């Protein structure tokens, strides 16, 4: 059973402000001890957190563990959350840090495991096209893309995910990565270039 999740963290500024207000209200309630409010926060942000974790780890179970741990940390540190930032940004920063820690912990994971994870995605995703040939081509291309993304260093991969896949704006990326907006732009450019360099030989060999 698998579905595709293509929802983006996008919206008009008014909608985003409304969403932020809702988050702030829920956080205030959760701080007061209302766990139901925190469950609502969990429901609202678990998907985006999972997407980031999954893109970073390429393993669903690892991503789920990271998301759960991130929410546990958020729950324990609600007092430290400042309302100036978006809750989603704060949460994604926790997720990103956990992904980095996880990558360091499992740095010795073999390439075979990563390849298995990529192949595991193939049967978990849903084919959109009715044409089997198209599906096959798409599967190959997706596998190559994911392999190239997985081969990137974690800091480059995080930039590609946040900017190109999640389409977050630069202030958010800067807040998540703990850098300036200019630094975030520069990192994104470098990450894209690195991904392009990784992907080109893979595409050539496939063709």
Partner 1 sequence: MKNDRLSESDLELLRQTPEDQLSVERFRAHLLAQGMKPERRRVSPLAWIAAGGWVTAGLAALTLMNRMPKDVLVTPPPAAREAPAPAPIVAGPEPLATNPESSDLGRAPVVATQSVPPVAAPRGPAPTVTRVTAKKIVAYVSPVKPTVVKSEPRSVEKPIVTRKQLESMVAMVDRPRVRASMMRVELRPTNPDLDRAASEVRKSLTQVVTPPKDVVTEDTVKTPHRAEPETIIVLSETDDPGMASVAVEKEVTSGFAVGG
Stretch that binds partner 1, among 14-22, 86-94, 103-111, 194-202 (CB under 8 A): 194-202
Q: Are 51 and 91 in contact (CB under 8 A)?
A: no
- Quote the CA–CA distance of 94 and 160 in Å, as a whole number: 18
> What does DSSP assign to residue 33?
T
Stretch that binds partner 1, among 9-17, 52-60, 87-95, 170-178 (CB under 8 A): 52-60
Rounded to 5 degrees, φ, ψ at 11 are 170, 165
Stretch that binds partner 1, among 15-23, 97-105, 121-129, 178-186 (CB under 8 A): 121-129
Burial of 40 (0-12, 13-18, 19+ CB in 10 A): middle
Rounded to 5 degrees, φ, ψ at 10 are -115, 165
C-alpha closest to that of 71 among 32, 52, 108, 43: 43
- Quote the CA–CA distance of 59 and 66 in Å, as a whole number: 11
Does residue 44 belong to the site contacting partner 1 (CB under 8 A)? no
Residues for the chain: how many in total? 207
Question: According to CB under 8 A, which residues from 64 to 103 bind partner 1?
Answer: 64, 67-68, 71-72, 75-76
Does residue 184 belong to the site contacting partner 1 (CB under 8 A)? no
Nearest distance, CB of residue 17 and partner 1, angstroms: 25
Tokens, residue 113: 């495991």
Which residue among 86, 146, 158, 168 contacts partner 1 (CB under 8 A)?
146
At how many degrees (to 10) do helices 60-76 and 87-105 cross?
Answer: 130
Which residue among 103, 121, 162, 174 contacts partner 1 (CB under 8 A)?
121
Does residue 51 belong to the site contacting partner 1 (CB under 8 A)? yes
Does residue 206 belong to the site contacting partner 1 (CB under 8 A)? no
Which residue among 141, 180, 186, 206 contacts partner 1 (CB under 8 A)?
141
Does residue 189 belong to the site contacting partner 1 (CB under 8 A)? yes
Stretch that binds partner 1, among 45-53, 97-105, 107-115, 171-179 (CB under 8 A): 45-53
Q: Produce one character per residue of 147-169: b if its CB has 16 or more CB atoms within 10 Å, e if not.
A: bbbbbbebebbbbbbbbeebebe
Contact positions toward partner 1, by CB under 8 A? Answer: 1-6, 33-35, 38-39, 42-43, 46-47, 50-51, 54-55, 60, 63-64, 67-68, 71-72, 75-76, 121, 124-126, 138, 141-142, 145-146, 149, 164-165, 189, 192-193, 195-196, 199
């Amino acid at each position: 059973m698998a579905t595709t999740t293509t929802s983006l963290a996008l919206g008009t500024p008014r909608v985003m402000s409304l969403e932020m207000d809702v988050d702030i209200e829920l956080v205030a309630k959760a701080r007061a001890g209302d766990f139901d409010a925190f469950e609502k926060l969990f429901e609202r942000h678990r998907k985006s957190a999972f997407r980031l974790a999954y893109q970073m780890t390429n393993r669903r179970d690892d991503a789920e563990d990271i998301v759960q741990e991130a929410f546990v940390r958020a729950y324990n540190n609600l007092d430290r959350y400042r309302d100036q930032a978006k809750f989603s940004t704060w949460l994604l920063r926790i997720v990103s840090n956990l992904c980095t820690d996880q990558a360091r912990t499992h740095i010795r994971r073999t390439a075979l495991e990563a390849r298995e994870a990529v192949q595991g995605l193939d049967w978990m995703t849903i084919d959109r096209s009715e044409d089997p040939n198209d599906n096959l081509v798409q599967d190959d291309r997706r596998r190559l893309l994911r392999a190239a993304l997985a081969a990137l260093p974690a800091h480059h991969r995080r930039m590609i995910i946040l900017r190109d896949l999640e389409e977050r704006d630069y202030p958010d990326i800067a807040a998540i990565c703990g850098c300036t907006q200019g630094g975030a732009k520069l990192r994104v450019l470098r990450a894209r270039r690195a991904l392009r360099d990784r992907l080109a030989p893979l595409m050539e060999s496939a063709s």
